[in-house]
Amino acid sequence: MPDPAASADPFASADPFASADPFASVGAAALLAHWGLPAPDAVHHPGEGTNNSLVVVEVAGASYVLRGYQNAAIARVAAEHRFLAALAAAGLPFAVPSPIPTPDGRTCVPTPNGPAALFHYLPGRPPRRDAGTLVVAGRMLGDLDRALAALPNAVSPYDWRHPLSEVHPAVPDLAELAAALATALPTTAGEDPGWLPAAAERADVAYFRLWETLPVQIVHGDFALSNTLVHDDGSPSAVLDFEVAGLGLRVTDLVVAVSLCTDGWWTPGAAAAADLLCRAYAERVTLTSAEWAAFPDLLRIRALESLVWRCGRWRLGQASLDEVRDRFDTARRIERWLDTHGPTLVDDLLHR
C-alpha cells in the first residue's frame, strides 16, 4: 500500500481536472471484479454528494456501497481507510464506514477519474430536521469527538492546521482568486470580492493564535445531518463521510456542525436550533471557556474555508458558479453579522 507521505499534495488526483462520475467510464461490474464479486443484480443511485460519487449495489442478496473520490489520490484515500479502521475499533455506539479490502489487501483501486472503494452498506435513514434530531446529532458528535481524541495523532490522514491559501490546491493565491471572482461574479449593492484577501489575512492570524492555545485532536471536519444515519426510532445508526477528517482544533467540529446542521444559524429563528445542538454536544464533551470564546473567529474561518474549497472545485470543473456565488454571499453575510453580534454570541455561549 502506498505511503501517504510519498505524495507532496495528498489531495491531487491523477487527473486534477477529472469531474466525471468514476463509475460511468469503468462500470460497477468491472470495479466489483477487483473484490472478487460478480456483476451486480441491481445498482441504485442514492444521490450525489458535493465532493464524491457513490452508488449502492446489490450482489447475491447483500448490499454494498461503491464510492468514488474526486479530490484525493490513492495514497490519501488509503490513509483515510487506515484511520477508519482505527476508529471502528474505538467502541463507538454507532457505526462508521468500513472499507472492504480486495483479495490482495488494497482498500481502494484506481479508475480513470480517481480512486474507488467498496464499503459495507450501513442500515438507517437520513434524519429529519427537528429539535429531537439536533439533540441526537449533538450527542453523536460528542461521542465521536471523545473517540477521536483517544486516537493517536499518527493515525490522522491529514493535518488541517494551515492557512486559507492551502485549503485547496487550485486556489494558492487569494488575491488572484478575488480578482477572478470580481470578473466572474457581478457586483451587487456595491459589494465585490475585494474584501476576501483582507478577511483571509485576519482569519489566518486568528487561526495561528488559536492553534497555539486550544486543544488539538483528530476531527471529522464535515459533520452535517446528511452525513448521519438514524434507525426508525430516531436512535443513532452511523456517522458517514470522513473524507476531510484530520488534525484540527477540537472545537471546530462543533463549529462546523452549527454551520451545517442549522439553517442560517445567525438568524433569530435558527438560534434555538444552534443552542440545542451545542447543549447536547456539551453533555458529552466539556469545552473550555477559551474554546467557546473562539466561536466567532472559527465561524468566520469556516465560512471562508467553504468558499475557498468550492472555488477550487469550480476551477476544476467540479462545481458550478452558482455554488461559488452562494458560498461567497454566505461568507460575506456571516462576516458582517459577526462584526456586530460576535461579542453577544460569545457571552451567550459562555453563560449557557
- Cell triple for 76: 490519501
What is the mean predicted confidence (pLDDT) over 130-134? 91
**Residues 47-104: pLDDT tens digits?**
555 566 888 999 999 999 999 887 788 999 999 999 999 999 999 999 999 999 999 9
- Which is nearest to 255 in space by CA: 338, 157, 156, 328? 338
Do the beta carbons of residue 57 and residue 46 sit within 8 Å?
no
Please tell me if the domain spanning 4-120 has the same topology as the one spanning 131-350: no
Asked whether the predicted pLDDT for residue 5 surpasses 90, the reply is: no
pTM, 2 dp: 0.88
Give the fold, CATH level 3, of 131-350.
Aminoglycoside 3'-phosphotransferase; Chain: A, domain 2 (3.90.1200)
- Which is nearest to 108 in space by CA: 31, 46, 11? 31
| Range 295-299, long-range pairs (CB < 8 A, 24+ positions) | 295/251, 295/255, 295/345, 295/346, 295/349, 296/338, 296/342, 296/345, 296/346, 297/203, 297/206, 297/207, 297/210, 298/210, 298/249, 298/251, 298/252, 298/255, 299/255, 299/258, 299/259, 299/334, 299/338
Q: What is the pLDDT of residue 2?
A: 30
217's torsion region: left (phi>0), alpha (psi -120 to 50) or beta?
A: beta
**Residues 180-230: pLDDT tens digits?**
998 888 765 556 788 899 999 999 999 999 999 999 999 999 999 999 999
Do the beta carbons of residue 87 and residue 147 sit within 8 Å?
yes
Q: Residue type at 9?
A: D
Q: Which residues make beta-bridge pairs with 43?
A: 57
CB-CB neighbours of 193 under 10 Å:
21
DSSP-assigned letter for residue 93 = S
**Residues 25-57: pLDDT tens digits?**
568 888 999 999 999 999 888 755 556 688 899
Residue 15, phi then psi, degrees to nearest 5: -120, 95
- Cell triple for 17: 481536472
Do the beta carbons of residue 290 and residue 307 sit within 8 Å?
no
* Domain residue ranges in the chain: 4-120, 131-350
Which CATH number describes the domain made up of 4-120? Answer: 3.30.200.20
Q: What is the pLDDT of residue 27?
A: 80
Tell me which H or E stretch contains 218.
strand 216-219
Q: Which residues make beta-bridge pairs with 120?
A: 64
